[in-house]
Amino acid sequence: MNYQQITGPSGPIANSFLNWAGSKRSVAKHLLRHQLPTFENYHEPFLGSGAFFFALSSLYKMPRAVLSDRNRHLASTFQAVKEDPESVIRSLRLHELLDSEVHFAGILRDLNNHKTKGTANPDRAAGMIYALAQSFHSFWYETPDGRISLSRRSNPKPFRPKFDRISVASVHLAKAEILAVDFKESMKLVLPNDLVFIDAPYLKKHDKSDPRFYTAKRFTRLDLEELIRLVDSAVCQGTHVIFCWNEKLPETVFDAGTWLDCGRDNVWISFDPLVEGLL
């Protein structure tokens, strides 16, 4: 098996610009101790903060990345950071100046009053970045009727945006395609010899979907079954897959591959991980 060549990074791996519950930065640190198989394009159908993408992009030359999420607020925020980081930074400076309980409530109201269609808007992107940074556990929650419901942190520290992360993220996103679609549409774009990083929402016990979820449409047990079917199809066509879950699924779920313990997460990879470390 051939392995991807490192490009000679000039500094440490990049951090995401977005606070997000369940970030996979620790998973990235674990997995990037190994070289990855040679891949053509990178796909991430459950984008979240994009922590794995930013870490990977710091180390590998990726000619094309397809980053997608069903959450349109999230997709439009990434698009705005990619296209107009200076305007996002200007708007964040205003949030830094006005940060308060009243301001937080106002931003949440504005986000709910402007339904996004996935298009880039620097002001709303900055509003989402601010709201997540100052919210309880940085958990983006949408009610079943589509309204955003966030609670401000108790006695939060003053908002101090990390402007450098916005600028760095824009550089990494320059060649990325950002889509506001669900995983079924995203997986249609996956080709042989691509790499797919999958961090689907975890299910709660008793076969229930998470009652606190980041999009109005919940991820269910049926969605998990469909996702596993799509993963099997991708692997059969020669795609490399990284699949995160909160527990190891039964051995009968995947025909091959390896489960790795990555802190609080269990990660299944479809390729051989036994290669010398990079980080």
Q: Residue range 144-152: average pLDDT?
A: 88
Closest CA relative to residue 25, chosen from 7, 13, 38, 8 = 13
Residue 244 pLDDT level (bands cut at 50, 70, 90): very high
Select from 237, 231, 240 the least CA-distant residue to 270.
240
* Per-residue model confidence (pLDDT) at position 218: 86
pLDDT computed for residue 143 by the predictor? 87
Rounded distance between C-alpha atoms, residue 58 and residue 11, angstroms: 8
**For a pLDDT cut of 70, what percent of the chain falls above it?**
89
Q: Please report which confidence band the pLDDT of residue 278 belongs to, taking 50, 70 and 90 as the band edges.
A: very low
The answer, yes or no, to whether residue 214 has pLDDT greater than 90, is no
Residue-wise pLDDT tens digits, 74-133: 999 999 999 999 999 999 999 999 999 999 999 999 999 977 665 789 999 999 999 999
The whole-angstrom separation of Cα 57 and Cα 52 is 8
> Which residue did the predictor score with more confidence, 96 or 264?
96
Confidence of residue 4 (pLDDT cuts 50, 70, 90): very low
pLDDT tens, residue by residue, 171-204: 999 999 999 999 999 999 999 999 999 999 988 7
Higher pLDDT pick, 81 / 246: 81
pLDDT(217) > 90: no
Distance CA 50, CA 21 (A): 12
When pLDDT is averaged across residues 8-27 and rounded to a whole number, the result is 79
Q: Name the pLDDT band for 47 (thresholds 50, 70, 90).
A: very high
* pLDDT confidence of residue 208: 57
Question: According to CATH, what is the number of the domain 75-167?
Answer: 1.10.1020.10
Q: What is the pLDDT of residue 119?
A: 73
- CA–CA dist 171, 11 (Å, integer): 14
Structure tokens at 29: 């640190």
pLDDT at 279 > cutoff 50 = no
Residue 2 reports pLDDT greater than 50: no
User: Does residue 33 or residue 249 have the better pLDDT?
Assistant: 249
| Domain range list for the chain | 25-70+181-269, 75-167
Confidence of residue 211 (pLDDT cuts 50, 70, 90): low
What CATH class is the domain 25-70+181-269? alpha beta
Average pLDDT, rounded, for the chain: 87
Distance CA 108, CA 130 (A): 10
3-class SS of residue 228: helix
Cα–Cα dist 123/91, whole Å: 6
pLDDT band with cut points at 50, 70 and 90 for residue 276: very low
248 or 8, which is more confident? 248
Q: How far apart are CA 248 and CA 261, in angstroms?
A: 9
